[in-house]
């Protein structure tokens, strides 16, 4: 679903690091990932330091963007607040995956149904703001962590991809009840009613006015449960060059509207930091 909405095959993002004090090439990817820590029982993930080989072993490829010394120092300093131990590594936010997808769906809808698009964007933005990661509640999804770490603000105009979108007429109704329960169980307002209210507003909007998004999200949610923590089948697919968004898309006019970091995507990080500098990490 994210590939259709965001226009690339990149499904994850993070910060290249070392876990020792050496100064050689990076060996690990620090990222917000949905996987449990070793020997701790089940949890819902958090900030992890995974060896590059971990991804290669699951038939995933890695690409990197060279950063300036200033940006790299900032990102590494941001990571020092986390430790790969229970209760010190933050958590992974499944809720924000749905939220950023809803934000991208609003971009797709804007040329055809601007009123619905505006309300959907507003609802997604409100959730992203209410559930913003903080030191007291460090819950992230992958691109959000990178956006915070590098400290680069993003605008609504940058959400516009060269993507095909979800379209209409998608039918997977048998899973609707399961999605309702799954999404509902993710909400824990932690004593902050604004969080529950914003999530309920987004939830209500997509279920009442955008069944195509809901039905596609159902299929994506159920399929991801089978391979989220495992390998992928088939050969590695080399990403295509980053394409430009349609020049006549009305969303490109929103250059002055800053968005929360929880609405940033891997594609937006690529476009902002290394559109032409991205390169494949060779296996060692």
Whether the predicted pLDDT of 236 surpasses 70: no
| Mean pLDDT (whole number) for 49-71 | 89
pLDDT higher at 242 or 119: 119
| Mean pLDDT (whole number) for 224-231 | 42
**The pair of three-digit structure tokens given for residue 102, joined into one six-digit string:** 């809803």
| Mean pLDDT (whole number) for 236-262 | 86
Task: Show Cβ contacts of residue 175 under 8 Å, excluding neighbours closer than 6 positions.
Answer: 218, 219, 221, 222
Rounded distance between C-alpha atoms, residue 17 and residue 23, angstroms: 10
pLDDT in tens, 169-186: 433 433 344 445 545 545
**The pair of three-digit structure tokens given for residue 122, joined into one six-digit string:** 């507003």
- Three-state DSSP class for 206? helix
First to last CA, the chain: 32
| Mean pLDDT (whole number) for 206-215 | 76
Whether the predicted pLDDT of 44 surpasses 60: no
- Three-state DSSP class for 114? helix
Q: Please report, for the chain, the start and end positions of each structural domain, with discontinuous segments joined by +.
A: 93-229+244-272
Q: pLDDT band for position 36 (50/70/90)?
A: low
Whether the predicted pLDDT of 112 surpasses 70: yes
pLDDT over 90 percentage in the chain: 36
For residue 243, what pLDDT is reported?
A: 83
- The number of residues in the chain equals 284
Rounded distance between C-alpha atoms, residue 190 and residue 282, angstroms: 43
- Three-state DSSP class for 50? strand
pLDDT higher at 90 or 260: 260
CA distances 167 to 108, 110, 157, 211, 227, Å, are 9, 13, 21, 11, 25
For 93: left if phi > 0, alpha if psi spans -120 to 50, otherwise beta; the answer is beta
E strand intervals along 68-219: 91-92, 139-140, 154-155
pLDDT higher at 142 or 206: 142
pTM: 0.81
pLDDT higher at 273 or 243: 273
Whether the predicted pLDDT of 38 surpasses 60: no
| Mean pLDDT (whole number) for 36-40 | 50
């Amino acid at each position: 679903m994210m590939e259709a909405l965001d226009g690339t095959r990149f499904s994850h993002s993070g910060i290249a690091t070392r876990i020792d004090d050496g100064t050689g090439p990076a060996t690990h990817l620090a990222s917000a990932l949905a996987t449990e820590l070793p020997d701790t029982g089940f949890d819902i993930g958090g900030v992890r330091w995974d060896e590059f080989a971990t991804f290669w072993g699951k038939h995933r490829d890695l690409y990197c963007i060279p950063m300036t010394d200033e940006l790299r120092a900032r990102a590494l300093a941001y990571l020092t607040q986390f430790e790969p131990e229970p209760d010190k590594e933050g958590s992974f936010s499944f809720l924000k995956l749905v939220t950023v997808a809803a934000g991208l769906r609003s971009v797709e809808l804007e040329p055809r149904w601007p009123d619905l698009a505006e309300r959907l964007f507003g609802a997604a933005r409100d959730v992203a703001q209410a559930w913003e990661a903080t030191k007291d509640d460090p819950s992230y999804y992958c691109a959000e962590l990178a956006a915070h770490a590098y400290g680069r603000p993003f605008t609504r105009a940058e959400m516009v991809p060269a993507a095909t979108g979800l379209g209409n007429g998608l039918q997977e109704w048998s899973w609707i009840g399961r999605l309702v329960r799954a999404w509902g169980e993710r909400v824990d307002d932690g004593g902050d009613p604004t969080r529950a209210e914003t999530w309920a507003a987004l939830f209500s909007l997509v279920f009442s006015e955008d069944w195509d998004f809901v039905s596609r999200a159902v299929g994506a949610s159920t399929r991801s449960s089978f391979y989220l923590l495992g390998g992928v089948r088939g050969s590695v697919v080399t990403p295509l060059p980053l394409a430009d968004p349609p020049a006549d898309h009305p969303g490109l006019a929103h250059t002055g509207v800053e968005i929360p970091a929880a609405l940033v995507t891997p594609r937006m990080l690529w476009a902002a930091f290394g559109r032409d500098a991205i390169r494949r990490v060779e296996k060692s």
